[in-house]
Structure 1
């Protein structure tokens, strides 16, 4: 059922009340403004690159592990379901969900950590700010403007889906958003829409579940050890009770499916309670609220903390993952150092941005080039740059 087919809640964002686009455009006959934003994200280059960017594993390590593309699709599905149940604009929730990882560099959190270190003296790096830069500047697809010229509500959701940002605007890495805010007020002290909040918590639901799923498939976690871990443990035991003859693969899949359902129901119950307790009746009430409205219950947060601790100890810091993180950081560090010393070895569209300016401008161009790489491209580019045999074949 589409957003237009049902009555939205009074605290939902509506296309009719949208603040429009920075560069005005004619209204589409076939799509709402938020649906148009979604389509622009799906068609952009940065979105396609997500297919070979990963979070824990490197993209070439296995075909069945989640990439940031499949993760974004899972987040969008959960966000849309939450929005539907809460009578919010499902297109806007889906759009923010699809956009939320566009700024992530290759190699997941290891890649982000390394770019933060490389950019420490040049204005910093933050993947959320990079996502904002992708949709407002780096994507060059339209002759009338840079970026995707998204609706105000979508841009706000991209910037503020994790909460108010006023306290961050003086950080060097957040300078692009600070400058944008001076041009078009993003209300940095207020909370984002409920649709953006739904996308943010859908991200939490998706990655907690798929990290369990991927960790078991990779052999870093076992079903036996997870039976004593909150959230997933009860679902494993219930699945075995209901289906005693299931093989381990089906037990894992069914338990993860049930855990997603448990977390979604918890969010819906907690959100409905907060809407009532905080007297949320309008979009303005949402932005002025003293807390996030779309949230997990306190009990769920306790269980999630235990689950995340187990994943951190047993999966994220497994020696195999540590080796991959170490290799990834060295690849990016070596390319960054080389490009800073010899920017002319980058492709012309990037070397042109790096040359003729100061060191900060050069570093930002180098960072943008590296951040846009997929895992596979980064590995191959590093080989081309540092392997003489491959260099001779160019």
Structure 2
């Protein structure tokens, strides 16, 4: 037996009956020879970790645009925190940790520069619409590897595409429990680390946090994350979910963050400018697709200018978007010798 086959045999014996086994995967769009060392899900995790889109997350906004300070979250640090929380849930529930990690690491690959401000801007101007979850799937299927994609398994792509459903209807939820664990891990991570960043930025104080949240979930980030994970572990089986009281406190936490941080004019004061940068870039490249880099020129030829411009801009880091905007729209002084 190969190392991979031994690993798969161990997983079949030790994981929950609700876990997704890689030997039962629905497979890839293009069949590949099995790796002798890694399971298909471990292989997907590695492909995501080594792709260009993953590295660009380092310079993409989480909530605060270009914050001054080394300790604020970026889209990359958010992704790593989601991965850690999701893996904790998966291990406790005896789900497939490799599948969980692959989904978590890939869930935000298609996120725009400037966080949700960039996402809103592209959704408004692109005729195809825009969703960062679906764009993340597009990245791994159609954009990475010069258009060849990463050729990931169906379960990983499904989990990535369903990680941010707002209406938890059956058709909108991940088909695997590992994907549903990532859905909760994403929310647990961003609510808690965005609150910590808001406190550091003095957008909020500890006194602003409703006492009901402190009472139900805890006063510190660690206490809240532990309470939420514990509820998931103790109340999941055929599905992943929390007890009613914790779920209500979690929903209240989410509402509080939207009102106090995500819609706060102090925290979001620069978003109007960010949206205009994204819209201006989109209009320019949609009207001048011949200026797109070669890999996006290929998308233009296969599909259309709107899709190519949207793919290019959504892949930009914050600073690259600003630099491109300045190059295109900000006059440069004459050089007189």
| TM-score, structure 2 as length reference | 0.88
Comparing 5-14 with 99-108, greater Cα deviation is found at 5-14
Aligned to 2:207: 224
Please tell me whether residue 92 in structure 1 is matched to residue 99 in structure 2: yes
Please tell me whether residue 257 in structure 1 is matched to residue 203 in structure 2: no
Q: Could you say what secondary structure the match of 2:156 adopts?
A: helix
Please tell me whether residue 379 in structure 1 is matched to residue 325 in structure 2: no
Question: Could you tell me whether the CA contact under 8 Å between 1:232 and 1:256 is conserved in 2?
Answer: no
Equivalence map 1:13-92=2 (5 Å): 13-92=20-99
Q: Could you say what secondary structure the match of 2:218 adopts?
A: helix
Aligned to 2:128: 123
Q: Could you say what secondary structure the match of 1:388 adopts?
A: coil
Question: Could you tell me whether the CA contact under 8 Å between 1:226 and 1:233 is conserved in 2?
Answer: no
Question: Could you tell me whether the CA contact under 8 Å between 2:218 and 2:227 is conserved in 1?
Answer: no
Q: Within 1, Cα distance between the matches of 2:99 and 2:333? A: 46
Please tell me whether residue 207 in structure 1 is matched to residue 227 in structure 2: no
- 1:62-96 Cα distance to aligned partner (Å, 9 max, x none): 32111111111111111111111111110101111
Can you give the 5+ residue segments of structure 1 that lack an aligned partner in the other structure?
168-186, 237-254, 281-292
Please tell me whether residue 312 in structure 1 is matched to residue 258 in structure 2: yes
Could you say if the C-alpha distance between residues 133 and 159 of structure 1 is closer, same or farther in structure 2, counting changes exceeding 3 Å? same
Could you say if the C-alpha distance between residues 11 and 102 of structure 1 is closer, same or farther in structure 2, counting changes exceeding 3 Å? same
Q: Within 1, Cα distance between the matches of 2:67 and 2:59? A: 8
Could you say if the C-alpha distance between residues 27 and 352 of structure 1 is closer, same or farther in structure 2, counting changes exceeding 3 Å? closer
Question: Could you tell me whether the CA contact under 8 Å between 1:384 and 1:390 is conserved in 2?
Answer: no
Specify which of 132, 141, 144 is matched with residue 139 of structure 1: 144
Aligned to 1:155: 157
Please tell me whether residue 268 in structure 1 is matched to residue 233 in structure 2: yes
Q: Within 1, Cα distance between the matches of 2:280 and 2:64? A: 21
Q: Could you say what secondary structure the match of 1:30 adopts?
A: coil
Could you say if the C-alpha distance between residues 158 and 86 of structure 1 is closer, same or farther in structure 2, counting changes exceeding 3 Å? same
Q: Within 1, Cα distance between the matches of 2:280 and 2:173? A: 40
Residue 259 of structure 1 and its aligned partner are, at CA, apart by 1.0
- 1:372-393 Cα distance to aligned partner (Å, 9 max, x none): 001111111111111221798x
Q: How many positions carry a matched residue from both structures?
A: 327
Can you give the 5+ residue segments of structure 2 that lack an aligned partner in the other structure?
1-6
Q: Within 2, Cα distance between the matches of 1:190 and 1:56? A: 25
Question: Could you tell me whether the CA contact under 8 Å between 2:217 and 2:227 is conserved in 1?
Answer: no
Q: Could you say what secondary structure the match of 2:248 adopts?
A: helix
Could you say if the C-alpha distance between residues 306 and 31 of structure 1 is closer, same or farther in structure 2, counting changes exceeding 3 Å? same
Aligned to 1:342: 288
Aligned to 1:389: 332
Q: Within 1, Cα distance between the matches of 2:181 and 2:139? A: 22
Question: Could you tell me whether the CA contact under 8 Å between 2:216 and 2:246 is conserved in 1?
Answer: no
Question: Could you tell me whether the CA contact under 8 Å between 1:76 and 1:98 is conserved in 2?
Answer: yes
Residue 32 of structure 1 and its aligned partner are, at CA, apart by 1.2
| TM-score, structure 1 as length reference | 0.76
Q: Within 1, Cα distance between the matches of 2:83 and 2:159? A: 13
Residue 164 of structure 1 and its aligned partner are, at CA, apart by 11
Specify which of 231, 244, 250 is matched with residue 298 of structure 1: 244
Question: Could you tell me whether the CA contact under 8 Å between 1:161 and 1:192 is conserved in 2?
Answer: no
